[in-house]
Each structure stands twice: as C-alpha cells, then as structure tokens.
C-alpha cells in the first residue's frame, strides 16, 4: 500500500461554508453542498458546481455556478442526468427539494491580457470570439421545483437521506422517524411507505442490478428490500466481537468485477463503546444471500464510503484523522492511504466515473476520488497506475535466461 500525507495539489477548492455532500453531476462537473445552518453566523448555505480539468501536472477546479439556499443547510443530495437535463434532490430540514439543473453557454467580454506577464493568473484556455473578444463558457442554472416532506417524527422532523435509482424512475427517502418512503421520479408522486427501522435512518442505496434497496439506521439494523415489491428481502447479520455493539454508518452497492450483472454490497460499521481495542470495519456482502464475504479493519471510526461504478475500487474516510483510503474491492487490499487528507472528519467521498472514452479528467491515474469535509476543502486523491514490466524488457530477460542456460549446459557437457 502507498502511504503518503496530503500535499498542496490535493486541494481543489476552498469554500466559505462547511461541506456535507458531494456528487458527480457529469463526467467533468461535480456539485458540493453544505452550509452553516439557520443560525445567524454569517455562514452561507447552498451548492457550488465546479468544472474539473487536468493541466498535465495537477487537477484544476473552476467554479461555474453557485446557488445559495437561504436559511436551509444542504445536508445531502443525489443526482441523476438524462439526455435532456440533470436533476438534483437535496435535504433541507424536513423536506426534500427537487432542482432542475439546466446548462447554457454564456458569453462575456474579457479584457486584453498579457499572457507573458508573470502576474497573469494561469487558467485553462477559453473559447473566444476573435472579432468581439468574447469568452464563452458553460454555466448551470439550478431551478427549484417540487418540494416534499419526507419525515413526520413530530415537533422537529428532519430529512436525513435521499437516493435516486440508477434508472431515474424511482427515489427513496429516509428521516428521523425511521420510515423509508418510495416516490416516482421526477414527478415525486408517493408510492409506498416502508416501516423499516425504530430509529433514524443513516443511509440508503439502490443496487445497479436487481431490485435491491439497502437501509441502515441507528437501531443497528441493515435491511435489504425488494424496492419493486416493497417487501423485506433479508437482514445483514454477522458475528460481532464479544461484548461490543456495532452500528452501520454508510452503505453502498457496487458490481462484482468480471461477473455479468451481479451486485456487491459494502458497509462501514463502527463500535458504540469506548474500549480502545475495538475496531471499525469495511465489509463486503453478497446481497443475494446476505452473507458477509470480506472484511477490512481499522483502528478508528469511519465516516464516509464510496464505490466506483465499475466495482474495482472502494474508498473510505475516517472520523478522527481525516484520512482517505482506497481499496481494491475484489480483495479489500489497501492500495492508497492519504494520511490527514482533511483537518477534520471526512463527510463525503465520490469516485470519478469510468467512461469508454479515450480522454477523461481521471485518465492520468488508475483511480481518482473526491473528498470533502467540514474543514471547507474539496480535495482529490489519485491512485497512480501500477508499474508493469514493458514487453520488450520481458523478451530480453527471456533471451538472456535462455543464453545463460545454454552456456551452462555446454560448460558441463550436456
């Protein structure tokens, strides 16, 4: 495993509010959200959208849109993009707000800049109109649409999480009342209510294949559902260390690499006790039978989880040291550990998607993951390509080995 500390190039952006959620909006655009809440602290609430690029030596994030949400802090969001537009759903107190995200090409007049001047800020080239000296850039407009109440616990309801299905036709929400609500998307028409847990929901996710929905909550349960039938499928069970109690913190589905249309499930589990020897765990499950397949252990609590869309890598973020670790999902073998990636606990992780295109923003590395924290930083961490021996070197070694063998045999008279 490669182990290193955070460096300056890891920091993509510094934002003037704490960050709680990060999502990939499209292959080159990322959206982050957060805020300071309704208290009169002067800290804003809202979203920022960045365009990501690589200049040959490091990644660059350029802000393209900022959308403030008034007194409502953004605690989570989920995105879906089709051929026409992008959608964002975000948690704002007891409601879930739907946004339509439309892109538009805008032109701005630019001043004549001496690019040879050392004081000129280095930015990526922009499309310009030679005749009118205009700069054209892509902007996003976030338009609030429907808002639905997703928690009904009583005096202080709170929407905790929402997730849009990969097919863009279904959405699930969960809050402090422990219920899971399924909705048509994007119409947000109610479908059914699952009386899932006795305590507040911590996380939910849909599988890419099959009809699985996973829910985890502060009652210690992890429940697999058939999201089409609205019925419980199975529960996650494992032998916990004697005298310890664990809670699932986050859950994410992935795919099993090399197997056609089979899902894997990943969870992170933290102990509730204070004993120093208690470990936290990254767990891999087979959702079809609910069996625990592989486990990786940690000496501190975990706070964030992400799985790459092709199923090859898993990333976790830690609570106390603010570290980010990348694992090979097949074996849960550690590949990269960025110690102290953030000065405070990691609140969100998201892998760059894998595309069938020759050029992507993450083509310079085998994997790239974004991380955010309440320290206001958006960071990127890349896993370098593992070095392999060139073919010509292997052929030379083979020829040299055969030559030595022939010489030795001749020497001893064989």
Q: DSSP assignment of 63-108, as one string?
A: EEEEEE-TT-----EEEEE-SS-EEEEEEETTEEEEEEEEEEEEEE
pLDDT of residue 118: 44
Please write the tens of the pLDDT for every residue from 285-334. 999 888 899 999 999 999 999 999 889 999 999 999 999 999 999 999 99
d(CA 292, CA 142): 41
Residue 199: domain span: 2-411
Spell out the alpha helix ranges (H) of 179-290: none
Which of the two residues, 37 and 128, has the higher pLDDT score?
37
Q: What's the CA gap between 168 and 262, in Å, rounded?
A: 20
C-alpha 167/C-alpha 197 separation (Å) is: 26
pLDDT digits over 162-198, tens only? 999 999 999 999 999 999 999 999 999 999 999 999 9
Instruction: Please indicate whether residue 243 or residue 62 has the higher confidence score (pLDDT).
Output: 62
Give me the pLDDT at residue 56, please.
Answer: 84
Total structural domains within the chain: 1
CB-based contact 176:200 (threshold 8 Å): yes
Closest CA to 306 of 392, 359, 380, 201: 380
User: Do residues 29 and 65 make contact, with C-beta atoms less than 8 angstroms apart?
Assistant: no
List of long-range contacts for 286-291, beta carbons under 8 Å, 24+ apart = 287/207, 287/210, 287/212, 287/214, 287/224, 287/233, 287/253, 287/263, 288/210, 289/234, 290/224, 290/234, 290/235, 290/236, 290/237
Distance CA(315)–CA(325), nearest Å, equals: 6
CATH number at residue 328: 2.130.10.10
The band of 111, judged by pLDDT with boundaries at 50, 70 and 90, is low
Question: What is the model's pTM?
Answer: 0.85
Percent of the chain with pLDDT over 90: 62
- pLDDT-derived band at 39 (thresholds 50, 70, 90) equals low
For β-strands 367-373 and 346-351, DSSP reports them as antiparallel
The distance of Cα 326 from the centroid of its chain, to the nearest Å, equals 12
Would you tell me how many other CB atoms lie within 10 Å of the CB of residue 66?
Answer: 13
Residue 366 backbone zone (phi > 0: left; psi -120 to 50: alpha; other: beta): alpha
Give the model's pLDDT for residue 135: 67
Contact between 190 and 172 under an 8 Å Cβ cutoff? The reply is no
Is pLDDT of 358 > 50? Answer: no
Pairwise pLDDT comparison (413 vs 330), residue with the higher score? 330
Q: pLDDT band at residue 2, thresholds of 50, 70 and 90?
A: confident
Tokens of 386: 């593992």
Are the beta carbons of 335 and 313 closer than 8 angstroms? yes
pLDDT at 225: 97
State the pLDDT at residue 274.
65
Q: How confident is the model over 381-397, as pLDDT tens digits?
A: 999 886 555 566 667 77
Average pLDDT, the chain: 87
Per DSSP bridges, beta strands 134-149 and 333-339 are unpaired
């Amino acid at each position: 495993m490669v182990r290193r500390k955070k460096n300056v190039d890891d920091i993509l952006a510094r934002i003037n509010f704490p960050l709680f959620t990060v999502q990939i909006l499209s292959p080159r655009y990322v959206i982050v959200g957060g805020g300071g809440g309704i208290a009169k602290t002067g800290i804003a609430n809202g979203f920022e959208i960045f365009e990501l690029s690589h200049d040959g030596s490091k990644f660059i994030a350029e802000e393209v849109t900022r959308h403030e949400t008034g007194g409502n802090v953004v605690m989570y969001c989920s995105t879906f993009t089709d051929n026409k537009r992008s959608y964002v759903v975000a948690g704002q107190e007891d409601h879930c707000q739907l946004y339509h995200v439309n892109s538009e090409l805008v032109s701005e007049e630019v001043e004549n800049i001496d690019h040879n001047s050392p004081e000129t800020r280095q930015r990526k080239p922009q499309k310009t109109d030679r005749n009118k000296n205009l700069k054209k850039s892509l902007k996003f407009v976030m338009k609030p649409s429907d808002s639905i109440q997703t928690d009904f616990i009583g005096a202080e309801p709170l929407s905790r999480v929402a997730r849009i299905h990969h097919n863009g036709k279904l959405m699930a929400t969960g809050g402090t009342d422990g219920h899971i609500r399924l909705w048509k998307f994007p119409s947000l028409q109610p479908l059914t209510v699952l009386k899932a847990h006795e305590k507040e929901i911590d996380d939910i996710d849909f599988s890419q294949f099959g009809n699985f929905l996973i829910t985890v909550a502060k009652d210690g349960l992890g429940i697999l559902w058939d999201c089409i039938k609205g019925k419980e499928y199975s529960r996650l069970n494992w032998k916990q260390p004697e005298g310890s109690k664990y809670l699932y913190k986050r859950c994410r589905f992935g795919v099993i690499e090399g197997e056609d249309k089979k899902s894997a499930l990943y969870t992170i589990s933290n102990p509730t006790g204070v004993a120093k020897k208690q470990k936290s765990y990254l767990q891999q499950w087979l959702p079809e039978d609910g069996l625990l397949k592989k486990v990786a252990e940690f000496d501190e609590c975990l706070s964030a989880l992400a799985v790459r869309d092709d199923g090859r890598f898993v990333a976790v973020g830690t609570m106390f040291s603010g570290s980010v670790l990348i694992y090979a999902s097949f074996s849960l073998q550690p590949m990269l550990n960025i110690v102290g990636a953030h000065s405070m606990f990691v609140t969100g992780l998201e892998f760059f998607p894998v595309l069938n295109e020759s050029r992507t923003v993450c083509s310079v590395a085998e994997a790239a993951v974004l991380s955010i924290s309440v320290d206001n930083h958006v960071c990127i961490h890349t896993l370098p390509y593992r070095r392999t021996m060139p073919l010509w070197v292997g052929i030379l070694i083979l020829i040299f080995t055969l030559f030595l063998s022939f010489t030795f045999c001749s020497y001893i008279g064989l």
